[in-house]
Structure 1
Amino acid sequence: MRTPLYSFLFVIFSSVGYAQTQPVYQDKPYWQDYSIKFYADKPNGDLLEAQADRNGAIQILTSKGDLLHPHDGQFLYPGTLQPDNTFRFMKDKKLTALGSYQQQFVYLSDQVVFANAWAGKLFSAHGLPNAKFFQGGPDFTFLVSDGTSLNLLKDSKSLWKGSLPGDETVAIRYQPGANQFWVLGKKSLYTLSVSGTKLTKVLDGAGFTALDVTNQGKKVIVGTNDGYLEFDVATKKQVGTVRRKLPWTEITAVAEVDGKLWFGSTKGAFALRADGKFDYYNGERWLPGDEVTHISKGPKNSVLILTKAGLGQICFKQMTLYDKAVFFDNQVRSRHIRVGFNSTLDRMEKGNLATGYLDDSDNDGLWTAMYLGGEIFRYAATKDPEALQNCRESLDAMERLYTITPVPGFPARSFERSGHMKELSDSERWQHASDKEWDWKSTTSSDEVIGHIFAFGAMAELIPDKNLKSRAITLIDTLMSHIISHDMYLIDFDGKPTMWGKWNPAYVNSFPTNVGDRKLNSSNITAMLQTAYHFTKKEKYKKKLLDLMQKHGYLTNQMRSMNEIGKAPADADEHAKHMSDGWNHSDDEMYFVGYWGLYRYALNDTLKAKYKQQIIDHWQAERPEKEGAWNIFTALTGTKEFDLNEAAWYLREHPLDLIDWSIQNSHRKDIELLPENFRRQTTKEVLPPDERPIQRHNGNMFNLDRKGRSGGSENSAGDIWLLPYWMGRYLGVISAPVK
């Protein structure tokens, strides 16, 4: 149901306040997918088939002949499969298969084909005590098989009997246009003409497992235990070879649903896209289990994917990006605000949102700054008073990071109520505040600081509220005065620089020129000093910046191309080697968050032009990741080319479910793995966000797997999704919703 990228990208060109025009994504509705899961509560037997009728009812059949139905499930709140006692007098029927005929439930027992629809008049004896497959044809004819024998019948009368010579039936489908059945054996494919009652072999093979008639009767798709093949109905020939470039090749189910081809496998389900690639539904983000047993059309634009562990109902809903922003805003405000911080809901029990607690983090200040930045852009774009109130509450939390420590201008990483240090992460880093009711976390790092400056600068520029603007500027001045007065170091409560809070030339220029920290720290401190000077007009900030640029080479450092960044040379010290053992995606986050102050508050147009060159050089290196935030941050330079298509793709394809489920992709046969490399890019092409592990912008978008997770935490959309969306809205490269 998810449509290729180009189908949604409606682009126009309009002025956004720059000398040149930029493309604008027109926010029209697209199909957003999400899953409602129903776990099997100790079923009596294996789960075999799931069907839905025209009324939206869903039934599941087990190998013991029991009927189940879904109970009490909704998105993010899974339900269960419970015994279906709706028709109480069906219990004496020994059911062996469940089907759908004219959008009504039809049942196969050891004696008859029957239904409760049509006033119960369908009741056709088949004479195969071990029957387990059946399919409806024209005018209530049914083809039934026990695996060995076949019986075409109507109203308990046999119209034809036969078998597959030397083979065993595994699936049956009916093709209305040709008035014929397709019968699949383990090693052969046959047609059975209803009018001529003639069984004809059309294909030999091996390892056949599933089939469906697709493309309006033009193709038959046959699943195997190692890929699938296409059979052309008109030419009666196989098309090409067995296709194995799939997420997984052990096919267990094939179904065409609303014109889209779906496959079940022993490692999840996947759907064929128009571009020939696949949407992959794997792990508990989508399914109760990965071993798929059946796929069918569900009610209201959904697909039913039955697994050994339960039912996954993949739903498709038309949404705009704005609709998604509203959904995520509710997610953040209802579950992820801890004393004003943008926090993670942690220690949940298998995705149960009612069981977790809001956890402290090393980066409470950074994640909150990024969420605050998004809300600032939201207010600037919409003037929504709710966004302004969110800004107030986030600023309250960030402001207290400065007032809770005993060191002027030194922000805490986080704060929490006292008496629980041993229960907090990195308990040795926590200190008692002067207010005995609170403790605070020390060792604040440079990524926190650059995040603070980004948010405070955006607030000082874009929020008209005088109180908020004044407080933001005061915080900028307080922090930067601390750094300048301590010789370009961030000094902790113990009088020592923190591990990463170092912008002094003796530290920065100690790195070889090709080690990223030399470039990063130069770029970040430039942005920070420019922001401080822009809003305070205090000459000390401008003077220090010019000193770092002219005497210590900071401009040269930051203008060095990303193509030159790599591992430290053999004669470098151990710290430089450790800091350059591979590409650091947290550094990317620090760079791009800092680019707001670097470009926006440049001292002059000459520097601004250089910064634009620097930003675009970095963006070029990041393009394979299709990282929505970095593409949107690049747009602030006014460049026409910033991969708007990919930014919109990131926002659309990001899952609504932000729970940290186990995810596996490294087994896939449809990805091209790359040799180990400095950038840690694992595949030639990045996977969509809804197929890879949930992660923040400081993660590697080419991470394929995350093992050992069982829904223990839920990430906030505040920094992950809302920041790039609202920044895009403010910059004018994403339109308001277009219905």
Structure 2
Amino acid sequence: MKLHFYAMALSFSGLVQLTALGQSGSGGQHIDQAFVQEHAILYPGNLQNLGPYSLGSNEVGNIQILHGNTLLKPATAQFQVWGKLVEDKSYLPIADKNIQAINGYQGELVYLDDEAVFSNAWAGSLFIRHELPTAHILEGGSNFDFLISDGKQIQYLREGLEQAVVLSAPQEILEIEFDPIQEKFWVLSRERLFRFDPLNKELREMLDGKDLRSMSFHAENNELILGTAEGYFTYDALSGKRSDLNSKLPWNEILVVESQDDELWFGTTKGAFVLLPSGEFNYYYLERWIPGEQVYDIAFGENEIYLLTDQGLGTIVREKMTLEEKAAFFDEYTRKNHIRNGFNASLELNEPGKLESGKLDDSDNDGLWTSMYLASQGFRYAVTKSPEAMAQIRQSLLAMERLFTINPVAGFPSRSFERSGYIEQLADPDRWQHAPDPEWDWKATTSSDEAIGHIFVYGVLAEIVEDDWVKSKSIELIDTLMSHILSHDLYLYDYDGKPTQWGKWNPDYVNNFPPEVGDRKLNSSNIIGMLQTAYHFTGKEKYKKKAFELMDEFGYMENLMRPMAVIGQAGEESDSYSQMLSEAWNHSDDEMYFVGYWGLYRYAFNPELKRKYKEAILDHWQAERPEKDALWNIMTAMVQPEKFDLEESIWFLQKHPLDLIHWNVKNSHRKDIELLDQNFRRQSTTQVLPPSETRIARHNANRFTLDSERGGRSAYSPGDIWLLPYWMGRYLGVIE
């Protein structure tokens, strides 16, 4: 799909929570304003012998790459559709030139070959001969004057210069930068920094260094930025004062440095990063952003940053966008790419990164992922009355209903269904079953996370969507599922007449766990919320009676109120099942808790219970705050709108990438993160990295996971990941 934007067409379980979050949190309302949204366009190609004079761009966005002596240009690409590099034959006479360097100058492209500095701009009038036939370093001054080098010598060039100025360099020259403030050239070698003065034609040594790699003159601060093999430092062009080496970077083996306005860009042997005026880094590494690892040159367009790697060109596109526009893009993207039989589905890609090769795949959690997407459309319709949202609500609600009707077990929701003959039952005979309708198969063994998803979304639709069919169908499905659970003694009974592995809320199961095992608290919290939802919409006393029985006689209130600080690993005296379930924090449990909090809090039987539920929810939220997950925060706004980490929620929504393909991601090598010792929570760093730099993850995943090897073979839907927290935030009034 072509990309277009609608504005334009603790101490917790032994782990100390080291976080920069304020203790009070932020609340209130975010007034939606345009922010900079980035995405990448890639042009793969195997490139060799690159350097800081291999890439050039002009003011109208023409890009050229010097590969050997051949000029290449990017072609035929768009968002999520890779392009290619082709020979640039725009100016045929250039094909006969032995071009050895390319650079931008006053908004145009300038070339250096074995005879001259020249350009096709300015009517081709720029043509200055030189005396260094192997020169490959080129930098322009302020008035069509140039300094070039072959690594051993430098030559100053200016039209009409009577005598050639050629000087030998004490060391091999790597790069030249012009200083427009002092009207001088800076010359870099591996261990020295020199300054060349065009007036007296003198090359003067200014600084000793070690393993210097690249430099850029930063006019904003009148200083040089010098990249090394171990980081970078600054050099004041007037005072000669240098800073300490900064090596606390995403990666510190620097190959190229460029400055653009108030930003500093670095190309390294492991991707590129930019230092923003705020002091934060944005890191661009691997195929979500660039086609290769090593970044040799950087150039700038009006709204683009070009990163030249050993495996092709990556273009970082920056466009102004509001969250509303991002939601419009994701809403359309989801409908076009991720709807299977009404379900919110993932794509399995036959070819890495190519959406067109994708197959819509079933999953164990079609009901859960669809419930979260369907809820987002419910919130969207309640806010906007969008006909598109209503159409999708009807489609997905029909899919959710058919999970019940496609199998022969009364009141039992299937995990998924598919047309007969397209799923290999023998590969998974416990799950895939033939439906009574011979055209279809259905997936069994439904779990508790599916069940809580069903009740969550039906409660949302029944409460807030003003449509008679949607309301009545949602209430019918609540009653259908909860009647099954009650009539089967708080179990989900499958086709074989036995409870599924996880569909269990009976006290014999729940209270068998030690107090520190999370399932005891989780299942208690979920079933009380489910029963309250059923009573709220059906008025049937059986649901209310069972809920109070569980709370008063079986300790479910004590279970659900148990502080998160207690949850941890089961002791050695516990059974092996409890120990297995408590090896580490389960982030799927977080998703089940928070999805269940909708019914637990909103449909509380009385104000006193609501007060207690709020206490439990806020206790859980405190444990989750380091993840900066927008869904957890905005769910918390339901119970505490004045304090729920609003800023972190907007950070999540704005920083989330548009590209949801599962590219490989690596961050464990970074030097700008502080690693924590292994812990129960599996929080790897003191600060969570932004979603744009980590793996694509649903809300049931650990956001502190640093590395992921997925190879671009699948793509998640934004329907549950992004649209649910956004549209819930709109409905709750915290995003306006």
Does TM, scored on the shorter chain, surpass 0.5?
A: yes
Supply the distance in 1 between the matched residues of 2:120 and 2:687 (Cα, whole angstroms): 50
The question of whether the paired residues in 2 share the 8 Å contact of 1:44 and 1:66 is answered with: no
Which of the numbers 126, 129, 149 marks the counterpart of 2:130?
126
Cross-structure match for 2:79: 75
Cα distance change on mapping 1:270 and 1:333 into 2, 3 Å? same
> Aligned pair 1:721/2:725, yes or no?
no
Supply the distance in 2 between the matched residues of 1:22 and 1:663 (Cα, whole angstroms): 33
Which of the numbers 590, 615, 634 marks the counterpart of 1:588?
590
Which of the numbers 446, 449, 459 marks the counterpart of 1:447?
449
Cross-structure match for 1:700: 702
Which of the numbers 136, 142, 161 marks the counterpart of 1:138?
142
Q: Deviations over 1:351-398 (max 9, x none)?
A: 111111100100000000000010000111111111111110110000
Cross-structure match for 1:14: none
Q: CA deviation at 1:485?
A: 0.5
Cross-structure match for 1:616: 618
TM-score by length of 2: 0.95
Q: CA deviation at 1:424?
A: 9.7
Q: Deviations over 1:485-509 (max 9, x none)?
A: 0010000000010000000000000
> Aligned pair 1:295/2:280, yes or no?
no
Where do 1:453-472 residues align within 5 Å?
Answer: 453-472=455-474
What percent of counterpart residues are identical? 53
Q: Deviations over 1:251-299 (max 9, x none)?
A: 011001232100000100000022323100011000011110101112x
TM-score by length of 1: 0.94
Q: Deviations over 1:397-439 (max 9, x none)?
A: 0000000111111000000010122289845410000000000
Q: Deviations over 1:46-81 (max 9, x none)?
A: 58622211222111111x210000101111111111
Q: CA deviation at 1:43?
A: 5.4
The question of whether the paired residues in 2 share the 8 Å contact of 1:267 and 1:292 is answered with: yes
Cross-structure match for 1:39: 44
Supply the distance in 1 between the matched residues of 2:28 and 2:58 (Cα, whole angstroms): 45
Q: CA RMSD in A?
A: 1.4
**Count of residues in Structure 1 that have an aligned counterpart in Structure 2:** 709
Cross-structure match for 2:606: 604
**Alignment partner of 1:622: what SS?**
helix
Supply the distance in 2 between the matched residues of 1:424 and 1:70 (Cα, whole angstroms): 48
Supply the distance in 2 between the matched residues of 1:360 and 1:266 (Cα, whole angstroms): 39
The question of whether the paired residues in 2 share the 8 Å contact of 1:225 and 1:249 is answered with: yes
**Alignment partner of 2:649: what SS?**
helix
Which of the numbers 89, 114, 121 marks the counterpart of 1:110?
114
**Alignment partner of 1:100: what SS?**
strand
Supply the distance in 2 between the matched residues of 1:250 and 1:603 (Cα, whole angstroms): 61
The question of whether the paired residues in 2 share the 8 Å contact of 1:491 and 1:497 is answered with: yes
Supply the distance in 1 between the matched residues of 2:430 and 2:488 (Cα, whole angstroms): 25
Supply the distance in 2 between the matched residues of 1:125 and 1:24 (Cα, whole angstroms): 63
Cross-structure match for 2:324: 322
Where do 1:342-421 residues align within 5 Å?
Answer: 342-421=344-423
Cross-structure match for 2:550: 548
> Aligned pair 1:252/2:259, yes or no?
no
2:545 alignment partner AA? K
Q: Deviations over 1:631-650 (max 9, x none)?
A: 00001113411000000000
1:733 alignment partner AA? V
The question of whether the paired residues in 2 share the 8 Å contact of 1:113 and 1:124 is answered with: yes
Cα distance change on mapping 1:486 and 1:406 into 2, 3 Å? same
The question of whether the paired residues in 2 share the 8 Å contact of 1:360 and 1:425 is answered with: no
> Aligned pair 1:49/2:51, yes or no?
no
Where do 1:255-270 residues align within 5 Å?
Answer: 255-270=258-273
Which of the numbers 475, 478, 482 marks the counterpart of 1:476?
478
Cross-structure match for 1:61: 66
Q: CA deviation at 1:159?
A: 5.0
Supply the distance in 2 between the matched residues of 1:638 and 1:280 (Cα, whole angstroms): 34
Supply the distance in 2 between the matched residues of 1:380 and 1:558 (Cα, whole angstroms): 31
Which of the numbers 269, 277, 281 marks the counterpart of 2:280?
277
Q: Deviations over 1:684-704 (max 9, x none)?
A: 000000000001000000010
Supply the distance in 2 between the matched residues of 1:215 and 1:336 (Cα, whole angstroms): 47
Supply the distance in 1 between the matched residues of 2:428 and 2:210 (Cα, whole angstroms): 57
Supply the distance in 2 between the matched residues of 1:596 and 1:509 (Cα, whole angstroms): 24
Cα distance change on mapping 1:156 and 1:418 into 2, 3 Å? farther
The question of whether the paired residues in 2 share the 8 Å contact of 1:450 and 1:524 is answered with: yes
The question of whether the paired residues in 1 share the 8 Å contact of 2:47 and 2:311 is answered with: no
Supply the distance in 2 between the matched residues of 1:432 and 1:423 (Cα, whole angstroms): 9
Supply the distance in 1 between the matched residues of 2:55 and 2:688 (Cα, whole angstroms): 33
Supply the distance in 1 between the matched residues of 2:136 and 2:160 (Cα, whole angstroms): 17
Q: CA deviation at 1:44?
A: 7.8
Q: CA deviation at 1:514?
A: 1.1
> Aligned pair 1:168/2:188, yes or no?
no
The question of whether the paired residues in 2 share the 8 Å contact of 1:184 and 1:211 is answered with: yes
1:201 alignment partner AA? E
Cross-structure match for 2:674: 672
Cα distance change on mapping 1:678 and 1:315 into 2, 3 Å? same
The question of whether the paired residues in 1 share the 8 Å contact of 2:382 and 2:466 is answered with: no
Cα distance change on mapping 1:22 and 1:161 into 2, 3 Å? closer
Supply the distance in 2 between the matched residues of 1:361 and 1:424 (Cα, whole angstroms): 17
Supply the distance in 2 between the matched residues of 1:503 and 1:215 (Cα, whole angstroms): 66
The question of whether the paired residues in 2 share the 8 Å contact of 1:348 and 1:711 is answered with: no
2:599 alignment partner AA? G
> Aligned pair 1:195/2:199, yes or no?
yes
**Alignment partner of 1:211: what SS?**
strand
**Alignment partner of 1:253: what SS?**
strand
Cross-structure match for 1:150: 154
Supply the distance in 2 between the matched residues of 1:132 and 1:254 (Cα, whole angstroms): 18
The question of whether the paired residues in 2 share the 8 Å contact of 1:131 and 1:146 is answered with: yes
Supply the distance in 1 between the matched residues of 2:497 and 2:511 (Cα, whole angstroms): 23
**Alignment partner of 2:662: what SS?**
strand
**Alignment partner of 2:84: what SS?**
strand
Cα distance change on mapping 1:382 and 1:614 into 2, 3 Å? same
Q: CA deviation at 1:22?
A: 5.0
Which ranges in structure 2 are unaligned for 5 or more consecutive residues? Answer: 1-25
Q: CA deviation at 1:600?
A: 0.5
Supply the distance in 2 between the matched residues of 1:217 and 1:82 (Cα, whole angstroms): 39
Cα distance change on mapping 1:74 and 1:674 into 2, 3 Å? same
The question of whether the paired residues in 1 share the 8 Å contact of 2:633 and 2:646 is answered with: yes
Cross-structure match for 1:334: 336
Cross-structure match for 2:28: 23
Which of the numbers 470, 490, 493 marks the counterpart of 1:491?
493
2:64 alignment partner AA? Q
1:93 alignment partner AA? K
The question of whether the paired residues in 1 share the 8 Å contact of 2:430 and 2:445 is answered with: no
Which ranges in structure 1 are unaligned for 5 or more consecutive residues? Answer: 1-20
Supply the distance in 1 between the matched residues of 2:261 and 2:304 (Cα, whole angstroms): 10
Cross-structure match for 1:625: 627
The question of whether the paired residues in 1 share the 8 Å contact of 2:196 and 2:203 is answered with: yes
The question of whether the paired residues in 1 share the 8 Å contact of 2:44 and 2:311 is answered with: yes
Q: CA deviation at 1:525?
A: 0.1
The question of whether the paired residues in 2 share the 8 Å contact of 1:305 and 1:313 is answered with: yes
The question of whether the paired residues in 1 share the 8 Å contact of 2:349 and 2:355 is answered with: no
**Alignment partner of 1:150: what SS?**
strand
Cross-structure match for 2:23: none
Cα distance change on mapping 1:203 and 1:307 into 2, 3 Å? same
